[in-house]
């Protein structure tokens, strides 16, 4: 059964198909066309952490495709009222796929292990594959292609930057993480990327000025992710020199785009001036969450349509 726990679950060809489906459906939507490709299909959203973009974009995307979605919060008692096996097999009788957002990545893996229904990762502590899909769509729209582009992530080696490092390796893009020492990418994750994609061009450096000097896109995310709140004071000190501000932007090529997965802590990892500047694509990037996920859902649940239409 096909899951999307991480981008390791799909091939480079699959990735191109998903992105092409997303662009196709986006173009059609812009012309007022909402083909009911997933008519009467239902997905569940099983979330242990808050969300605006992921939740709303999956729900509206599914509605636009003629299907529907169910938001499942704490009250369904996942991991509390019954065994994981009973929970997952029962859910699989009712819905076509589940999108989960979990505190621990293992919880998402556990859902998928029963192969009772396709599981899509809507963010875990380890990775955020749906975000990376939308980010590449945004880069393609800005430059016409992602080919040969250099993505520089200024900030934490977290779930978002980890997924970007992987998607860049898949697409032969150069990826640099500019971060303070000891906030690099998870070494196991990085090894896995190099094993799957030996040509991966991934660098990690604390020299942020040098990193951005060849950037086509400069990306940042919060210094303190959900679940790390106790570390926020330490992190604020550690990342103090890694703010995306006007001074840093002056070191980057003038064509460089600014990206952020949002939500942002304005004044910490990025200044108002930069996030609201003409170089910033953050609002359309957030909008692309829906388009990218529509591509993913159709690719996953109606592959025949992709073969015939995209």
Q: Which does 158 bind (CB under 5 to 8 A by kind): ligand NVA, ligand CP, none?
A: ligand NVA
Buried b or exposed e, range 207-219, using 16+ CB within 10 angstroms: ebeebbeebbbbb
Peptide bond into 237 cis (omega under 30): no
Out of 10, 91, 168, 222, the residue judged to bind ligand NVA by CB under 6 A: 222
95 part of the interface to ligand NVA, by CB under 6 A: no
The token duo for 229 is 């709140």
* Catalytic position from the list 3, 24, 101, 107: 101
The token duo for 231 is 């570390």
Strand ranges in the chain using DSSP code E only, listed in sequence order: 42-47, 68-72, 97-101, 119-121, 150-154, 174-178, 201-205, 217-220, 257-260
* Catalytic position from the list 96, 135, 216, 221: 221
Considering only residues 242 to 261 of the shown chain, the ones binding ligand NVA according to CB under 6 A are: 261
264 part of the interface to ligand NVA, by CB under 6 A: no
* Four-CA torsion 221, 226, 230, 232, nearest 10 degrees: 10
268 part of the interface to ligand NVA, by CB under 6 A: no
127 is catalytic: no
52 part of the interface to ligand CP, by CB under 6 A: yes
Q: Which stretch binds ligand CP (CB under 6 A): 206-214, 239-247, 261-269, 290-298?
A: 261-269
Query: Alpha-carbon distance 104 to 137, whole Å?
Result: 27
Which residues are near ligand NVA by CB under 6 A?
A: 123, 158-160, 221-222, 225-226, 261
Interface positions with ligand CP (CB under 6 A): 51-54, 123, 131, 261-263
């Amino acid at each position: 059964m096909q899951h999307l726990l991480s981008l390791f679950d799909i091939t480079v060809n699959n990735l191109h198909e998903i992105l092409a489906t997303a662009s196709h459906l986006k173009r059609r939507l812009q012309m007022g066309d909402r083909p009911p490709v997933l008519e009467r299909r239902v997905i569940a959203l099983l979330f242990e952490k808050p969300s605006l973009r992921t939740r709303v974009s999956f729900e509206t995307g599914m509605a636009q495709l003629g299907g529907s979605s169910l938001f499942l919060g704490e009250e369904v008692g996942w991991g509390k009222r019954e065994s994981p096996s009973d929970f997952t097999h029962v859910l699989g009788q009712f819905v076509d796929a589940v999108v989960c957002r979990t505190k621990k990545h293992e919880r998402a893996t556990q859902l998928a292990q029963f192969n009772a229904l396709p599981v899509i990762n809507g963010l875990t502590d380890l990775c955020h594959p749906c975000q990376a899909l939308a980010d590449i769509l945004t880069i393609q729209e800005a430059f016409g292609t992602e080919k040969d582009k250099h993505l520089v992530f200024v900030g934490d080696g977290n779930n978002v930057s980890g997924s970007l490092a992987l998607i860049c390796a898949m697409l032969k893009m150069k990826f640099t993480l500019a971060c303070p020492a000891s906030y690099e990418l998870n070494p196991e994750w990085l090894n896995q990327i190099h094993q799957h994609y030996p040509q991966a061009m991934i660098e990690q450096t604390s020299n942020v000025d040098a990193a951005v000097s060849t950037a086509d896109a400069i990306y940042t995310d919060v210094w303190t992710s959900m679940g790390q709140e106790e570390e926020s004071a330490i992190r604020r000190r550690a990342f103090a020199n890694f703010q995306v501000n006007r001074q840093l932007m002056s070191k980057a090529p003038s064509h460089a785009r600014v990206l952020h997965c949002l939500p942002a802590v304005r004044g910490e990892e990025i200044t108002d001036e930069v996030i609201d500047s003409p170089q910033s694509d953050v609002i359309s990037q957030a909008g692309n969450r829906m388009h990218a996920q529509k591509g993913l859902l159709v690719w996953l649940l109606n592959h025949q349509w992709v073969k015939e239409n995209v």
